Structure 1
Amino acid sequence: MSNIRIVLVETAGARNLGSVARVMKNFGLKDLWLVNPICDRFSDEAQHMAVHAPEILENARVVDTVPAALVGCHRAIATAGRIDKGEMKVTSPPKGLSWLMQAETSAIVFGAEDRGLSNAEIQHCQQVMRIPVNDDYPSLNLAQAVGVCCYQLQLLKEGLRENSQCHENLTSQIAQDLIESAPIDLATRADLEACYQQLEAVLLKIGYVYPHTAAHRLRKFRHIFDRANLSPSEVAMLRGILRQVNWATAHLD
């Protein structure tokens, strides 16, 4: 599962961070990215909880923003405890992670312990995933949430079945779909973000959106294009159209 990246946003607890490193190594994941971390990955607490996985903390990439953590990724899925994400598609771990594994490089994004992910952070991902839990206490510890996702990835990787016939059929079918799916030539998140920025600039210029409505309208365009699974050549074509529109509006009589 070397193509799966774990992204943690503003992690505050060193013990949580160390526990994440440990559970990642338990399931064979190595690629950890930290967005503006609050705690010190080299602290005694983090190193102690990592046990035999200190190299995951040492090799972690530290960046300032979610888009920076998704550079090189073709698909990204956000995790959320709440389900009120508006137009964003909310999926389950088996379905969401199966979809994620079909891309060459993907990321699972986890929010800060005290607030989760903001809507602005979530919009950089194509889907939102929610781990089903007891509604009376739906807040999972960060390391536990990462562990659940790592375990589900392992199930999908090995095609394992659980005792429950319902879950057995679901896991088996998703694993089979994953095996039969050919690699998809997808544009990276960085390429799509550049396209979205260019689209916003053009729409503002021609008056289709206004500064106070641009963010809301652009979310709709993001959802449309994210569902389309655009290839690099398709993104290049769209950006070429936008450049031509920009040129044409600058040369109107």
Structure 2
Amino acid sequence: MAHDKILLVTGGSRGIGAAVVERAAIDGYRICINYQRNRAAAEAVQARVAACGGEAMIHAADVADEAAVVAMFAAIDQRFGPLTHLVNNAAVLETQMRVADMDAARLQRVLACNVIGSFLCCREAIRRMSIRHGGAGGVIVNVSSAAARLGSAGEYVDYAASKGAIDTLTTGLAKEVGPEGIRVNAVRPAFIETAMHASGGEPGRVARIAPQLPMGRGGQPAEVAATIVWLLSEAASYVCGAHVDMAGGL
């Protein structure tokens, strides 16, 4: 592994992504905080990194846009050097809806960001990390969801299906690039206290579901971030192709 730890966190301006940025900064990563629209939120996370002595850049890019992804990686190359660590966290969630009512435009939005975006970021990361491409190795952590196992019936089967694709990407890519010095793993959180639930039309979803969970409560972004940063670290040096469930026991 390269001495410099250079990390990209997609969707790093809020929720789990922001928590990963703040935790990784303490561990000495130089970080690119990717965001799509909310520059002020990204700048606020960047300021928190600076306050703890870390270094971060912010970069606006829609991960579903191939040219934007290529430009973002080029910007990281110029500022920090080739990427060594990637957290594929950016994702969108549409309003709760049954499959019978979904249109193609909704499906295209969800799959473009959640699936194509993750593939594109993995591709650019591999071109920099892989020993086959002259790199020194690296680590990719994909943020999936327990929805991939549970299905999210009556709410967002499309989102769940997109995360099922992330699970398969993780399994296949771990086998493909493991021999090239890249570890690929996934976390599968669910029922985490973030603003994403408001995007689905139910800000209080976690509170509603919490009594049904074996642990009796929702999770916090910092709890997921701790696991992600562990997977990024040398402490997880023999973990590859794993899917870590973080859904309160469900």
- TM-score bin, normalised by smaller chain: 0.3 to 0.5
Larger gyration radius, structure 1 or structure 2: 1
Q: TM-score, normalised by structure 2?
A: 0.37
TM-score (norm 1): 0.37
